[in-house]
Amino acid sequence: MPQMTPSTARVIDPILTAVARATAVQSAPVADVLFPRVPVGQRGGKIISFSNEHFKLYNTSRAPGANTKRVEFGYSSDSFALVDYSLEGSVPIELLQEAAAVPGLDLARSAILKVRALQDLEREKQCADLALNAASYGASNKVTLAGADQWSADTSDPFGDISDAREAVRAQIGVRPNTMVIGPKVRSALAKHPDVLARLRGGAGADSTDRAPATLAELARVFDLDQVVEGGGIYHNGSAFVDIWGTFAVLAYTIPKSMAEMGSPSYGYTYQLSDYPIVEEAYYDRNTKTWYFPVTDARQPVLAGASAGYLFTGASA
């Protein structure tokens, strides 16, 4: 049985690692919007959170020989500890033309892509659990909608609700939210809401008859946001498929940050170990007669500034 040689491993592993990383970049689940990846060089450290130093007025005048005033941005709050996540893609030798031959790049790439899709789904659910936990938000940064107030009801006022939420965030961090994440049912409700369609057609009170449902770009425009993103992720809980982002809506101020900018106001991050994910050396298992491709990631999503977000629970029926 031919085994993968060190020289072969050196050729294939970097290529497959590049495939795994490219997949992580190209796939854009909501996790990458609310919790952008920030590379870190170690598996543990302090979470850098936002402070109000950005908005204080300082008298920066200095007399000859006097000390220069100093200011620190951001502060260390809780600790983070990256968690390793590993999953193996498999290629049975029955799929190969030559028994026990080293899989070609096409078969190996297919196995890696399937593993990365599952890892992305896991991260999406982890980030949703953080974002949709009402206990993480202050009283002024969350609301539960019900009945006629839900955006699936024509009598609701999504413009008033979202405007109030944006001002609540601005009052705490100095900038308005630039992003809204909505579950699939919430998207459907907003896309067909008569107030939304009327404004797209010519202003509040305009006739919305026969108007096609609003697109995500149109929703962003009418709500004065940089982007509206649908959290379309779905998973199977053993008995049924479940929407990861449910009937929630999250407003947030979030932009991709470098490590140096992490003290600036932002909703969340994913601390990601530098140069990860990686594809480890493939190995052959005689018992299962299968080649395995281990993929390892090391990360931790954190809600760095709940004051930069606003949670709508029950935004749609």
Query: 91-100, 135-144, 208-217, 288-297: which range is least confident on average?
Result: 91-100
Domain covering 6-50+76-313, topology: phage-related protein like fold (3.90.1690)
Largest interatomic CA distance in the chain = 82
Q: What is the pLDDT of residue 18?
A: 58
Residue in the block written with tokens 């020989």: 65
Check residues 270 and 150 and name the one with the higher pLDDT.
150
| Beta bridge partner(s), residue 235 | 242
The average confidence (pLDDT) of the chain is 81
Of 83 and 142, more confident: 142
Percent of the chain having pLDDT more than 70?
A: 74
Contact (CB, 8 A) for 125 and 244: yes
In angstroms, what CA-CA distances link 56 with 51, 53, 188? 10, 5, 42
What pLDDT score was predicted for residue 142? Answer: 98
What number is the average pLDDT over the span 44-50?
67
Max avg pLDDT among 247-251, 262-266, 304-308: 247-251
pLDDT band at 64 (very low <50, low <70, confident <90, very high): confident
Q: How confident is the model at residue 44 (pLDDT cuts 50, 70, 90)?
A: confident
Identify which of 56, 92, 83, 61 has the alpha carbon closest to the alpha carbon of residue 72.
56
Tell me the average pLDDT across 88-111: 71
- Confidence label for 113 from pLDDT (cuts 50, 70 and 90): confident
Q: How many Å apart are CA 91 and CA 88, to the nearest integer?
A: 10
Q: Give the pLDDT confidence score for residue 150 in this predicted structure.
A: 98
Number of residues assigned to the chain: 317
Structure tokens belonging to residue 205: 């009170």
**pLDDT of 257:** 54
Between CA 254 and CA 302 the distance in angstroms is 13
Q: Give mean pLDDT, residues 189-210.
A: 77
CA distance 16 to 12: 6
pLDDT tens readout for residues 271-305: 888 888 888 888 889 899 888 988 889 999 989 88
Question: According to the model, what pLDDT value does residue 265 have?
Answer: 67
Q: Delimit the domains of the chain by residue range.
A: 6-50+76-313
Supply 97's token pair. Answer: 């033309």
The span from the CA of 103 to the CA of 92, in Å, is: 9
